[in-house]
Amino acid sequence: MKYTFVTLFPNLIEGYFKDSILKRAIDKGVLEIEYLNPRDFSKNKHFKVDDTAVGGGAGMVMNPQPLFDALDNLKQEDEDVYIIFMTPVAKPFVQNDAKRLAKRSHIAFVSGRYEGIDERVIEKYADEVYSIGDYILTGGELASLVVCDAVSRNIEGVLGNADSLEIESFETPLLEAPSFSKPQKYEGLSVPSEYLKGNHSKIRSLKFALSEAKTKFFRPEQLIKYNCLHTIDTLSQKKKR
């Protein structure tokens, strides 16, 4: 997978790939990262990339010209590039999106700064537009990294152990059961005794109960979704019989 980060601030992003699982994937050639700075495409004599908003409003908006030229350039180099804009005005990014996007060969993340990006750029070039949550960041760079990281974990050869993708939160509507490491007792706090007895079916049912409890506490709407899916599943099994 190749990622292109279209950003005025590549330094904000570069550090993340210098020391992580993703660095290993880059060294192995599974991932490739490049940066494209719209400022390098600005036709303004001072390389300006933003201006006040037409029609008024606070703050500066990123001009269309540098982004049009940067993205045209990118598409000329690779017609398969899939262009994603990061903005709070979009649908929320979820795990299923991460899995689906992992099948692409080249993704470009366009990060906005200032008050945002001229809408005509998004209209013309966006294959998809994502928000990472209902809050406003100072720019889309962090959001791009979040999506890039979540997508990358689903690409073969990125995680050391493929099993770690098997039963994770959001693979089903239930949150993952808690995990424990050694020692079994630490500062008087013990791992749940069932985990220690080696009866795998009992461990499985305890983990399921803990999963349900965590989901009920932290994400009750997910538990409702799980119960609905479970009911539909049971009814269709009954119908088959």
Give contact residues for ligand ADE (rule: CB under 6 A): 86-88, 131-133, 135-137, 140, 143
CA distance 16 to 181: 27
Quickly list H helices, the chain.
Answer: 10-14, 21-28, 64-77, 95-101, 119-125, 141-152, 193-196, 200-218, 220-240
**Residue 85 or 195: which CB sits closer to ligand ADE?**
85
DSSP state of 46: T
What does the angle CA 125 – CA 61 – CA 70 come to, to the nearest 5 degrees?
A: 40
**Residue 1 or 143: which CB sits closer to ligand ADE?**
143
Asked if residues 26 and 33 have their Cβ atoms less than 8 Å apart, the reply is: yes
